[in-house]
Amino acid sequence: MSREFQGSLFYNFPSFQDTLFIIIDNSKMMTSFRRSGDVVGIYFHDELIGVNIFNSNSFLKFRLDGLLHNPNRPLVELIGNIIYNSLKEKVTIVSSPVFLAKISYIEDGKIFIELGGNKTYQAGCRDINELSAGSYVLASEKGTRLDDGNMADDYLLSDEEYLIVGLEESGIDDGSYLGQQAYDLKKQK
């Protein structure tokens, strides 16, 4: 049975020119690599932890600096096919959604957010000092990859389900958008 991996796609032309980076697990150190043409599989022992695709401008043009949050199906299929044809590894590029949430309440240093509906979720936070009940925030779910390449889990305690990654600054004044992906909201405006 072949293994399947999920990865996040990063691109930064000013720093790395036309190289696509697919990060599968950045918590492990590379022990080996396998190259096939412009595709390099990065391994921790026999486990694929990342892929670099060089000369990507020959088949794809990006205007992106960092993590691609919501890849479309044709891009997911293209990248998956390139990796499979080169390395015989199954990799799917996954979304890393950031949701609009509202701080419901803060109690005993614990933060609870709502994403719509009547349910609240415990959330962790890093590097944000001015949080208060009623504030709109951007939150990533446990198990998703952040802009810095780390997983949200890396910053969460065991009972926290979301990580607050920023304050929403666009002046939302009603909760009808709660739970929607922040990038979809920006397209609607």
Q: Pick the most confident of 50-54, 171-175, 176-180.
A: 50-54
43, pLDDT greater than 80: yes
Fold of 99-188: OB fold (Dihydrolipoamide Acetyltransferase, E2P) (2.40.50)
Classify 186 as helix, strand or coil.
helix
Residues 6+ apart with CB under 8 A from 28: 44, 47, 49
Confidence of residue 113 (pLDDT cuts 50, 70, 90): very high
Predicted pLDDT at 109: 86
Distance CA 69, CA 94 (A): 8
pLDDT score at 183: 56
pLDDT band at 45 (very low <50, low <70, confident <90, very high): very high
* Nearest-angstrom CA–CA distance, 131 and 26: 30
Distance between CA atoms of 188 and 170, rounded to whole angstroms? 12
Who wins on pLDDT, 62 or 102? 102
* Whether this model's pTM surpasses 0.85: no
Lowest mean pLDDT among 37-41, 96-100, 110-114: 96-100
Asked if the model's pLDDT at residue 58 lies above 90, the reply is: no
Q: What is the pLDDT of residue 16?
A: 76
Q: For 127, which DSSP code?
A: S
Mean of pLDDT over the chain: 86
Q: How confident is the model at residue 57 (pLDDT cuts 50, 70, 90)?
A: confident
Domain locations in the chain as residue ranges: 4-93, 99-188
Q: Is the pLDDT of residue 118 over 70?
A: yes
Mean pLDDT, residues 42-61: 91
Average pLDDT over residues 41-59: 93
